[in-house]
Chain A
């Protein structure tokens, strides 16, 4: 079995007599060095190269060629040799390619003497380098191991030898080049260079690169990828999935989500292009060095979901949205933490200045104070810069993700609602609204909750939770009094109910209303008009009891059937669809028994497909005292107007929630409901 190595990986050699086969797209100069424990080569006599091909334990070919075989007997190398490096260089003094980037990636294979392959390493990701340390054989106890190195040198052979610790590297490199040139002259003819137009002798005229050139080599380590925005450093680690809400979150590369897939997709070779590499190994599998990772990191087939994982597009989009949510929470946490620190440090330093009587007055004091303030603003500015960078990426990401969302995840303003068709399958989640933070009020993250709903929804029609001043109302924002707020809450609830209904297949989701006061009739018009709701909810307490009793019985029946494993024993008239009970103006019209039934329904309903949506002002129910506290706590509180009461699960920022509602004047809700009603009618026939 051949081990395909990636940079840095090592592999145990089962024997000490091996052959190293080198294959490159153009003639290369082979070489090997014998180094000590620290990898350094003590004297030029410990280098095998075409000018001096034999050393104890190893032999290299005497000329440059595209294919080489190096015989190695590790038992025969001097005992003080701990590391053997195999080197490749493009001959400089002859026509031919000048860098490894211009030819096919060289490959190195280690085989036994009988030709059985042990390990193979394709040196990908080379660019302007003309010399490369291919592999390293090193002692590990009594055995030897091979390690894939692939370290390139733009400074060529001289730089590589200097790096091995040889002081006279330049002279040595020149000697090797001369031997190679002579060898090639003796040979029949050099292979034609794959890159045409290289003037003969260009290499000869080229000044021998100095050792310090590798300090400035622009070779393999180029992080300034043109398609990457500044913050894409996170991309380095982005191989790992897991940005979903449940996971602890992996920093994702927002840029890669926003940017189109790199055009070089598919240029990757070997392990680099392997998809689905395990999370931890993602970075390593994507190739040794960052530019390699860039080149081979195949963009997701559907860039709209970025690099979010998932079995389906829907799941990937869901994870992507939650990933954006987490990213925004965390980047803002970093910003706020930095600003808090800057503030407290400034306060402390100013206090210190005041505490020192000598520093309290005069120009010294002024300049000291100015310095403190400058330190503060420098730090805050830098934090803001980072925040803006991340926010910019998230905005770009949202610009790509938002239009791609399916109806259940999309805002009512999205074009997908205008192309609405009754779906075949139930969605995995539902958008309840948008979330934003004060740092960037334009950047809205969809609030997606999993279906079936684990908790009931409570649309708060009260004013008590609003800030001071809200009670008096804000004429400009248009929610002056409690009546209007109740109406808004009801409209919001209807929008949620309509969305739930329309994202489920026809007949698989039914809505019941309890409206003992009869105040919801106007708001229910869209549902009634389209025929989705057959008749207005019954008025008075009798209607409450009737609906609750039916639903509670249903819960009991289904639970019993599930418990005894007799789902087929359910009465044939039982509606198998999911049910949503909307209660308007709770607890109006409820007696103690009805309240208990509702609490039971809230607790037990979700597991058997009965959901609850309550429109209520908690103040109205305060007569029940703490009895109802668990009921309120058990529900997800939503507001009809923007309100900063929702906390994220990671940091606990207060997010401003804005409910999902159709844009002003839009008829999208009516159109969608008409289609739903038509599909339901068709089903019944």
Chain B
């Protein structure tokens, strides 16, 4: 809804659809200083012969920092902080949410510390354990204003398909501040490296 876009600190968030973009500018011209990209997922209910066995799905969130379409740095479970310190992964979650609906992995972006040449940060999710998104339910990514914990935008993955990765969203520089675009593009790969060819056209 339009209001939260303008006011920035209203609690109601925008439910994004694929390709939709929002501005992270506040109405008074101030910009958000720090945002958190939260990702959550659950293993889908399984029926049938092996249905009772509990399974763990390890999805991994990564953030790739681009300068003019060139990857400069990446934040993922093996490199939790970007060299400049502006993007931080809070840690790997190997199993996903047990139906809690909270964030399972979070990536914090201190927008004011992002180096001047970085103009896009792309967030991806990979299935490290190889399950496709058919076996994942309630997967979402949401952007939260870290300064007050309010959700700014939420993008829910619809209908899992037979792919193992999702390029979720990108946070990018706009004229004077930052914006976010929901990408929701399926891809395949175990880690972010496998996704680079799929990310390039989305920049």
B98 within 8 Å of A by Cβ? no
> Cα distance A280–B28 when bound, in Å?
26
B95 within 8 Å of A by Cβ? no
Given A288-B148, A331-B85, A337-B73, A386 and B116 contact (CB-CB distance below 8 Å): yes
> Cα distance A290–B33 when bound, in Å?
10
B30 within 8 Å of A by Cβ? yes
Residues of B within 8 A of A280 (CB): 90
Stretch at the interface among B6-14, B153-161, B165-173: B6-14
Contact A248 B80 (CB under 8 A): yes
Chain A 489-521 near chain B by CB (<8 Å), digits 1 or 0: 000000000000000000000000000000000
> Cα distance A147–B7 when bound, in Å?
17
Residues of B within 8 A of A7 (CB): 9, 11, 148, 150
A413 within 8 Å of B by Cβ? no
Contact B67 A341 (CB under 8 A): yes
B111 within 8 Å of A by Cβ? yes
CB contact between A234 and one of B27, B33, B151 (< 8 Å): that residue: B33
Residues of B within 8 A of A233 (CB): 33-34, 110-113
> Cα distance A330–B83 when bound, in Å?
6
Residues of A within 8 A of B86 (CB): 251, 334
Contact B148 A651 (CB under 8 A): no
Chain B 119-137 near chain A by CB (<8 Å), digits 1 or 0: 0000000000000000000
CB-nearest residue of chain B to A288? B148
Residues of B within 8 A of A219 (CB): 28
Contact B85 A236 (CB under 8 A): no
Residues of A within 8 A of B150 (CB): 7-8
Chain B 86-129 near chain A by CB (<8 Å), digits 1 or 0: 10101000000000000000001011110111000000000000
Most buried by A among B73, B81, B90: B81
CB contact between A218 and one of B28, B111, B148 (< 8 Å): that residue: B28
Interface residues of A in 182-234 (CB under 8 A from B): 214-223, 231, 233-234
B26 within 8 Å of A by Cβ? yes
A345 within 8 Å of B by Cβ? yes
> Cα distance A287–B72 when bound, in Å?
35
Residues of A within 8 A of B81 (CB): 248-249, 330, 650
Q: How many residues of A contact B (CB 8 A)?
A: 62
A418 within 8 Å of B by Cβ? no
Contact A234 B9 (CB under 8 A): no
> Cα distance A82–B38 when bound, in Å?
26
A558 within 8 Å of B by Cβ? no
Given A136-B11, A249-B88, A284-B148, A234 and B112 contact (CB-CB distance below 8 Å): yes
B19 within 8 Å of A by Cβ? no
Q: State the Cβ distance, A197 to closest chain B Cβ, in Å.
A: 29
Contact B148 A221 (CB under 8 A): no
CB-nearest residue of chain A to B11? A8
Contact A283 B34 (CB under 8 A): yes
Contact B149 A341 (CB under 8 A): no
CB contact between B85 and one of A10, A133, A283, A327 (< 8 Å): that residue: A327
A333 within 8 Å of B by Cβ? yes
Q: State the Cβ distance, A335 to closest chain B Cβ, in Å.
A: 8
Q: State the Cβ distance, A88 to closest chain B Cβ, in Å.
A: 16
Residues of A within 8 A of B3 (CB): 39, 163
A148 within 8 Å of B by Cβ? yes
CB contact between A293 and one of B7, B113, B147 (< 8 Å): that residue: B147
Q: State the Cβ distance, A270 to closest chain B Cβ, in Å.
A: 14
CB-nearest residue of chain B to A218? B28
Given A221-B26, A237-B108, A333 and B147 contact (CB-CB distance below 8 Å): no
Residues of B within 8 A of A283 (CB): 34, 146-149
Given A234-B110, A283-B149, A334-B113, A345 and B68 contact (CB-CB distance below 8 Å): yes
Q: State the Cβ distance, A646 to closest chain B Cβ, in Å.
A: 17
Contact B148 A251 (CB under 8 A): no
Given A330-B84, A383-B116, A149 and B10 contact (CB-CB distance below 8 Å): yes
Contact A382 B116 (CB under 8 A): yes
Q: State the Cβ distance, A643 to closest chain B Cβ, in Å.
A: 24
> Cα distance A233–B73 when bound, in Å?
22
> Cα distance A247–B120 when bound, in Å?
26
12 residue pairs A–B, Cβ–Cβ below 8 Å: A7-B148, A136-B11, A214-B7, A218-B28, A221-B26, A221-B28, A281-B149, A290-B33, A337-B84, A341-B67, A341-B72, A650-B81
Q: A223-B33, A234-B34, A337-B84 are known contacts; what are 5 more A-B pairs with Cβ within 8 Å? A: A7-B11, A221-B9, A249-B81, A293-B147, A386-B116
Chain A positions near chain B (C-beta within 8 angstroms): 6-10, 38-40, 133, 136, 147-149, 151, 163, 214-223, 231, 233-237, 248-251, 280-281, 283-284, 287-290, 293, 326-327, 330-331, 333-335, 337-338, 341-342, 345, 379, 382-383, 386, 650-651
Chain B positions near chain A (C-beta within 8 angstroms): 1, 3, 6-12, 26-28, 30, 33-34, 67-68, 70, 72-73, 80-81, 83-86, 88, 90, 108, 110-113, 115-117, 146-151
